[in-house]
Amino acid sequence: MSVGKRIVKIIVGVVVVVLAILMILQPDWGYVLINAVLGIALLVSAIGSLIYYFRLARHMVGGRSTLFSGLIQLDLAVFTLTLTDLPKIFLMIYLVSVFGVTGVLRLARGLEARSRKAPAWYWSFLSGLFYVLIAFLCTIFISNNAIMVTIFSVGMLFMGVGNIVSSFYRSKIVYVQ
């Protein structure tokens, strides 16, 4: 990972931690903040994927998957950013399902890494378990907005701290210079 990517990852982690703390302090409008953060993050990721496709990936084997991934992310970003007019319960169900899907994907990555005998498979597996647990707890307390936003904020705090910590990992890839 380059120094620039490390700095961006640290900045994103700090922003997520600050937003999570704000949501814990103000749970009444936290769901709107969650929606905005998720929508903007998806939009930035989609634009990055599309730029990567048009600059480089279209000439690569399997480059179309980057295009499709970027288009799906763009669609999800627009959908997420338009959810502000719906009742809170629908928005929170959507956000919890995104968190749950993230957890299931991390669980699958951890199990795949375990089958390949990767040394740090358990961190991916444990973070997936944590995300699934957060999604499960949010579905239990879906009727109580303050508790649900607080639980979701704890999950975002975990995600932000994870971003900051993972930015300090050493690269295992040898780069040719």
DSSP letters along the chain, please?
--HHHHHHHHHHHHHHHHHHHHHHH-TTSHHHHHHHHHHHHHHHHHHHHHHHHHHTGGGSTTHHHHHHHHHHHHHHHHHHHTGGGS-HHHHHHHHHHHHHHHHHHHHHHHHHHHHTT-TTHHHHHHHHHHHHHHHHHHHHTTT-HHHHHHHHHHHHHHHHHHHHHHTTSPP-SPPP-
> What pLDDT is recorded for position 162?
84
The CB-side HSE value for 157 (13 A sphere, CA atoms) comes to 13
Average pLDDT, the chain: 83
- Tell me the percentage of the chain whose pLDDT exceeds 90: 5
Return the pLDDT at 173: 62
Total domain count for the chain? Answer: 1
Asked if the structure places residue 173 within a domain, the reply is no
Confirm whether 63 is domain-assigned: yes
**Mean pLDDT confidence for 123-145:** 85
Supply the range of the domain harboring residue 156: 3-166
State the pLDDT at residue 171: 66
Let me know if residue 135 belongs to a domain.
yes
- Is there a domain that residue 46 lies in? yes
Query: Would 99 be classed as within a structural domain?
Result: yes
Task: Note the pLDDT of residue 177.
Answer: 59
33 in a structural domain: yes
Do the domain assignments include residue 174? Answer: no
Query: Does any domain span residue 175?
Result: no
- pLDDT, position 172: 64
